[in-house]
């Protein structure tokens, strides 16, 4: 029977021996640990809402006539007092000239009756005129004064009609398209010509239910304010669907005075600055409202949280490297961390990297680091 004998080089034998020694000497698995971040926080509640204009005006004419000109570009920005439409002014200029002519007639009549009355009063003192004649001239004088006042009122009305034939912007904002083209008849107080919405500031409306209302009202009273009056200008943040657009700061300034019977909600309003007109009425957004008074919160990274069916756990490490699990009740995210509502007191050392290597009851080689107050996203 033939036997095969293999001879290994000495270097290979030495490597095999060293590998066995290294495996035998392998220590506890390395992990990164840190203390939770403990600082004063305010929890946020998030709601969906919609932007609305702070002011929205329908433009209608105050006088009737045929539209002569449109002086703006559809969708442009207009300033308060800008000329928007002109109604054919010829009839109004004619009425103004008539009113001025009536003023001249009334002034002449008034001057004549004044002289007649003064002459009569002089003659009555000498007994050269009857008392009834004086009364007649006084009556004519008073009638002429009334006619003069009536003519002046007619002149003011004619001037107003001519002024109203030029329709100007009542406020600054973005204008809609012209709803009527030149040549069409415009009916006073009826024909809608266009509309203007203000752009800066802008409102954001959202609804809260009874539970949130009671919580916010309680916190507002604790701050010495009232929710319906804006809760002492409570600061909020609003984000839009495009996440590349940074969140916008706003102030809670109003809430309705009752809860809706059908929906069980109350409408709340925030006001935001909008100088670059990034926000437009009708857009949807999300608002984050402070949902608590300031308190000392415990914050940890989401990476430090493990799941065990319906439980949430963190792995704590003692001074000897022993891993001990702790159950927690997580809350919302703040400053890039997860709030821990229950389960930790802030003094623990938690595994934040290498969680898969930190098994309950095992021993790990922990490298301690310090977490920043605000996580880098």
Residue 300 placed within a domain: yes
Residue 189 has pLDDT above 50, yes or no: yes
* Phi–psi pair at 237, nearest 5 degrees: -130, 135
* CATH code assigned at 230: 2.40.30.170
Q: For all residues of the chain together, what is the average pLDDT?
A: 86
Q: What is the mean pLDDT of residues 253-271?
A: 88
Return the higher-pLDDT residue of 214 and 314. 314
pLDDT > 50? residue 3: no
- Provide the pLDDT confidence category of residue 305 given band limits of 50, 70 and 90: very high
Mean pLDDT over residues 240-262, rounded? 87
pLDDT, residue 232, reads: 55
Confidence of residue 131 (pLDDT cuts 50, 70, 90): confident
Instruction: Identify which of 71, 352, 66 has the alpha carbon closest to the alpha carbon of residue 191.
Output: 66
Domain boundary at 261, 290, 319, which?
290
pTM of the full predicted structure?
Answer: 0.65
Helix (H) and strand (E) counts in the chain: 4, 23
In a domain, 377, yes or no: no
At residue 324, the 3 state secondary structure works out as strand
Report the SS3 class of residue 320.
coil
- Residue 86 dihedral angles phi and psi, to the nearest 5°: -130, 125
> What are the pLDDT digits (tens) for 136-179?
989 999 999 999 999 999 999 999 999 999 999 999 999 999 99
Same domain, 212 and 283: yes
What's the average model confidence in pLDDT over 213-240?
Answer: 73
Average pLDDT over residues 181-193: 95
Per-residue pLDDT averaged across 299-309, rounded? 90
Residue 19 lies in a domain: no
Q: How far is CA 247 from CA 28, 236, 237, in A?
A: 45, 10, 6
* Same domain, yes or no: 282 and 299: no
For residues 285 and 211, membership in a common domain is answered with yes
Whether the per-residue pLDDT at 17 is higher than 60: the answer is no
Residue where a domain terminates, one of 113, 148, 164? 164
Same domain, 66 and 181: yes
Give the chain's radius of gyration (CA, Å).
Answer: 42
Give residue 291's pLDDT: 74
**Rounded distance between C-alpha atoms, residue 161 and residue 154, angstroms:** 10
Which residue, of 259, 290, 321, is where some domain finishes? 290
Instruction: State whether 308 and 347 are in the same domain.
Output: yes
What pLDDT is recorded for position 168?
96
Q: How would you class 261 by CB atoms within 10 Å of its CB: exposed for 0-12, middle for 13-18, buried for 19 or more? A: exposed
pLDDT of 316: 94
**Stretch 250-262: mean pLDDT, rounded?**
87
Residue 162 is predicted with a pLDDT of: 95
The band of 24, judged by pLDDT with boundaries at 50, 70 and 90, is: very low
Report which of residues 174 and 128 the model is more confident about. Answer: 174
- Higher confidence at residue 136 or residue 18? 136
314 and 188 share one domain: no
Q: Are 233 and 275 part of one and the same domain? A: yes
User: Is 106 among the domain residues?
Assistant: yes
Same structural domain for residues 80 and 183? Answer: yes
Same domain flag for 304 and 180? no
The answer for 230, left when phi > 0, alpha when psi is -120 to 50, beta otherwise, is left
**Co-location of 77 and 178 in the same domain:** yes
CATH code: domain of residue 129: 1.10.287.470
Is the same domain home to 210 and 112? no
Does some domain include residue 108?
A: yes
Mean pLDDT value across residues 267-283: 90
pLDDT at 19: 45
Candidate ranges 39-43, 222-226, 231-235; pick with highest mean pLDDT: 39-43
Whether 349 shows a pLDDT value over 90: the answer reads yes
pLDDT surpasses 60 at 1: no
Confidence bin at 243 (pLDDT 50/70/90): confident
Written as one string, the DSSP assignment of 164-176 is: HTEEE-SS-EEE-
Count of domains observed in the chain: 4
The reported pLDDT for the residue numbered 195 is 95
Burial 325-354 (b: 16+ CB within 10 A, else e): beebebbeebebbbbbeeebeeebbbbbbb
Q: Is residue 374 part of a domain?
A: no
In a domain, 320, yes or no: yes
Output the DSSP codes for 14-38: HHHHHHHHHHHH--PPEEEEEPPEE
Given a cut of 70, whether residue 193 has pLDDT beyond it is yes
Q: Is 122 inside any structural domain? A: yes
**255-279: average pLDDT:** 88
**How high is the pLDDT of residue 238?**
93
Q: Give the pLDDT mean for 299-308.
A: 91
More confident: 23 or 253: 253
Domain range for 180 is 60-85+171-197
Indicate if 204 and 268 belong to the same structural domain. Answer: yes
pLDDT-based confidence at 211, cuts 50/70/90? Answer: confident
């Amino acid at each position: 029977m033939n036997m095969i004998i293999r001879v290994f080089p000495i270097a290979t034998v030495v490597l095999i021996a060293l590998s066995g020694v290294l495996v035998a000497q392998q220590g506890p698995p390395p992990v990164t640990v840190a203390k939770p971040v403990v600082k004063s926080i305010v929890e946020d509640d998030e709601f969906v809402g919609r932007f609305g204009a702070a002011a929205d005006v329908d433009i209608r004419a105050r006088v009737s006539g045929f539209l002569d000109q449109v002086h703006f570009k559809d969708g442009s920005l207009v300033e308060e007092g800008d000329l928007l439409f002109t109604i054919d002014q010829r009839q109004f200029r004619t009425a103004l000239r008539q009113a001025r002519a009536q003023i001249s007639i009334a002034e002449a009549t008034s001057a004549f009756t004044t002289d007649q009355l003064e002459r009569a009063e002089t003659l009555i003192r000498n007994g050269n005129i009857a008392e009834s004649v004086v009364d007649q001239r006084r009556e004519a004088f008073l009638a002429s004064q009334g006619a003069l006042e009536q003519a002046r009122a007619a002149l003011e009305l004619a001037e107003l009609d001519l002024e109203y034939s030029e329709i100007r912007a009542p406020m600054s904002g973005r204008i809609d398209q012209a709803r009527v083209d030149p040549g069409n008849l415009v009916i006073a107080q009826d024909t809608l010509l266009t509309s203007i919405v203000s752009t800066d500031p802008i409102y954001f409306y959202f609804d809260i239910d009874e539970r949130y209302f009671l919580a916010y009202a309680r916190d507002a009273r604790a701050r010495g304010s009232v929710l319906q009056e804006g809760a002492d200008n409570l600061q909020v943040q609003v984000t839009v669907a495009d996440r590349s657009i940074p969140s916008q700061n706003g102030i809670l300034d109003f809430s309705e005075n009752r809860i809706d019977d059908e929906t069980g909600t109350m409408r709340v309003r925030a006001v935001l600055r909008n100088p670059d007109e990034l926000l437009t009425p009708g857009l949807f957004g999300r608002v984050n409202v402070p949902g608590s008074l300031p308190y000392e919160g415990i914050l940890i990274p989401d990476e430090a949280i493990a799941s065990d069916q319906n439980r949430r756990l963190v792995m704590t490490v003692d001074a000897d490297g022993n891993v001990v699990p702790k159950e927690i009740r997580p809350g919302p995210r703040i400053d890039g961390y997860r709030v821990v509502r229950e389960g930790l007191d802030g003094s623990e050392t938690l595994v934040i990297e290498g969680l898969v290597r930190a098994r309950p009851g095992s021993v790990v080689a922990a490298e301690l680091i310090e977490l920043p107050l605000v996580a880098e996203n």
